[in-house]
Structure 1
Amino acid sequence: MSSNAVLDIALSAMMLAAKLAAPILITALVVGFAISLLQSITQVQEVTLSFVPKAIAVAVALLVTGHWMIAETVAFTHELFARIPSLLGG
Structure 2
Amino acid sequence: MTPEVVVDLLRQALYLVVLMVSVIILPSLLVGLIVSIFQAATQINEQTLSFLPRLLVTLLALGLGGHWLIREFMDLFVNLYTSIPELLF
TM-score by length of 2: 0.95
| 1:37-62 CA-partner distances (Å, limit 9, x unpaired) | 10000001111101111011100110
Indicate the SS of the match to 1:24: helix
Q: Does 1:18 align with 2:24?
A: no
Comparing 36-45 with 17-26, greater Cα deviation is found at 17-26
Aligned-pair RMSD on alpha carbons? 0.8
Instruction: Give the corresponding residue for 2:63.
Output: 63
Give runs of aligned pairs for residues 6-85 of structure 1, distance below 5 A: 6-85=6-85
Q: Which amino acid aligns with 1:51?
A: F
* Runs of 4 or more above 6 Å deviation: none
Q: Which amino acid aligns with 2:61?
A: A
TM-score by length of 1: 0.94
Indicate the SS of the match to 1:44: coil
- 1: CA distance, partners of 2:83 / 2:21: 25
- 1: CA distance, partners of 2:47 / 2:6: 44
Q: Which amino acid aligns with 1:67?
A: H
